[in-house]
Amino acid sequence: MKDLGKRLTIAQSKLEMPCSSATSPMRVWTIQPEEVLAQLKEERVLYADPACITKEFRHAYDWMRTQMGRCLPNYDGHFPWWGWYSPRPDLRQSGHLERGTKGVRLELEIDPNHVLLSDFDAWHSVLNRGYLGLSEAEDDAWYRRFKADVPNRWAWPLPEPWYSEILTSWKRVFDLEALATSEYWQPGPRCIQATFEALRLVDVRKSTPFVAR
């Protein structure tokens, strides 16, 4: 894979891992700078460049790789591409890419055994190294115990058992049903992200160009 440099965007995707058993292709959209599509047409398969990951989020991407390795068959350990399962990205909105950037929205159909779905809002608990509770009471109780026991709450990794408890709570990003019905997480339609290992030309069904707002 050729180096895409900083222009290549790796977007910000139940306690048992919900591995898919579906056989029909899964529709996923990903937003990328236009040069990614040009390179994809040339090379046919692209893998995400770890050099493009912001340093403070490296722990989150490493953790997601571990979860993909546990759930997805034939996963080879590359850093994930990020896409959307629901809803389809609205190109009239801002924030997809740096303003003025020429981009493309790629509509993909991917083997579901190559995709791991997670909740976008809950994912911020992983990015911020926080405990992911399903209720305000649970969150408050956990942080009361934590603050009473750990002098430096910003240390990473945290001392045990706190580190293991946080990592266990993060698996809830995959519990889409629990998050959708939790009042703490604003029940209703959710933004569901999709992570997958390889961006393949054969999976592209449609490309829509746009200029980021």
* 55-78 per-position pLDDT tens digit: 999 999 999 999 999 999 999 999
Scanning the chain, the segments in alpha helix (DSSP H) are 34-43, 58-71, 120-127, 136-149, 162-170, 176-181
In sequence order, the 6+-apart residues with CB closer than 8 A to the CB of 137 are none
Q: What mean pLDDT, rounded, does the chain reach?
A: 90
Q: What is the pLDDT of residues 163-190, one digit of tens each?
A: 999 999 999 999 999 999 999 998 778 9
What's the CA gap between 2 and 39, in Å, rounded?
Answer: 8
Is 90's pLDDT higher than 70?
yes
Is 11's pLDDT higher than 90?
no
Predicted pLDDT at 20: 54
Q: What is the pLDDT of residues 193-208, one digit of tens each?
A: 999 999 999 999 999 9
In the 8-state DSSP scheme, what is residue 159? P
Predicted pLDDT at 173: 98
